[in-house]
Structure 1
Amino acid sequence: MTETEGVRLQKVLAAAGIASRRASEEMILDGRVEVNGRIVTELGTRVDPERDTIRVDGSRIPAPRRHIYLVLNKPRGVVSTMDDPEGRPTLSDYVPPRMPRLFHVGRLDTQTEGLIVLTNDGEFAHRLAHPSYEVSKTYMVEVVGGMEPRTLKRLEKGVTLDDGPVKPDKIKVVSRTEGRTLLRITLHEGRNRIVRRMMDAVGHPVERLSRTAIGPIMLGQLPPGETREITRDELGKLLDIVGM
Structure 2
Amino acid sequence: MDRRKAGTSRPPIAARRPAAPRHGLARVLSKLGVCSRTQAQALIQEGRVRVNGRLIRDPERPSDARSETISVDGSVVRTAQPVYLAMNKPRGLVVSANDERDRRTVYQLLDDPALPWLGPVGRLDKASEGLLLLSNDTVWAAGITDPASSLEKTYHVQIAGLADAELLRQMLSGVNGRSETLRARRVQLLRQGQRNTWLEVTLDEGRNRHIRRLLAALGFEVLRLLRVSIGSVALGRLAKGSWRHLEAEEVAALKPGQSRDR
The TM-score, its normalising length taken from structure 1, stands at 0.70
Moved more, 78-87 or 109-118: 78-87
- TM-fit CA distance, 1:241: 4.1
Counterpart position of 1:59: none
CA contact under 8 A between 2:143 and 2:256: conserved in structure 1?
A: no
CA contact under 8 A between 1:128 and 1:242: conserved in structure 2?
A: no
> Which residue of the other structure, out of 116, 119, 122, is the alignment partner of 1:106?
122
Partners in 1 of 2:179 and 2:211 — Cα distance?
13
> Which residue of the other structure, out of 192, 199, 209, is the alignment partner of 1:183?
199
Counterpart position of 1:142: 158
CA contact under 8 A between 1:133 and 1:242: conserved in structure 2?
A: no
- TM-fit CA distance, 1:85: 2.5
Name stretches of at least 5 consecutive residues in structure 1 with no aligned partner.
Answer: 1-64
What's the % identity of the aligned pairs?
A: 34
Partners in 1 of 2:102 and 2:81 — Cα distance?
32
The residue type equivalent to 1:92 in the other structure is Y
Is 1:78 aligned to residue 93 of structure 2? yes
The residue type equivalent to 2:206 in the other structure is G
CA contact under 8 A between 1:136 and 1:214: conserved in structure 2?
A: yes
Is 1:173 aligned to residue 173 of structure 2? no
> Which residue of the other structure, out of 140, 145, 148, is the alignment partner of 1:129?
145
CA contact under 8 A between 2:156 and 2:225: conserved in structure 1?
A: yes
Is 1:163 aligned to residue 163 of structure 2? no
CA contact under 8 A between 1:139 and 1:210: conserved in structure 2?
A: yes
Give the greater-gyration-radius structure (CA).
Answer: 2
- TM-fit CA distance, 1:96: 3.4
Partners in 2 of 1:242 and 1:97 — Cα distance?
31
Counterpart position of 1:199: 215
Counterpart position of 1:27: none
Q: Secondary structure at the match of 1:155?
A: helix
CA contact under 8 A between 1:127 and 1:242: conserved in structure 2?
A: no
Counterpart position of 2:134: 118
Partners in 2 of 1:121 and 1:115 — Cα distance?
18
Counterpart position of 2:244: 228
Partners in 2 of 1:138 and 1:170 — Cα distance?
9
CA contact under 8 A between 2:88 and 2:129: conserved in structure 1?
A: yes
Partners in 2 of 1:192 and 1:170 — Cα distance?
18
RMSD: 1.6
Partners in 2 of 1:153 and 1:86 — Cα distance?
40
Structure 1 runs of 4+ off > 3 angstroms?
Answer: 240-243
Partners in 1 of 2:251 and 2:188 — Cα distance?
27
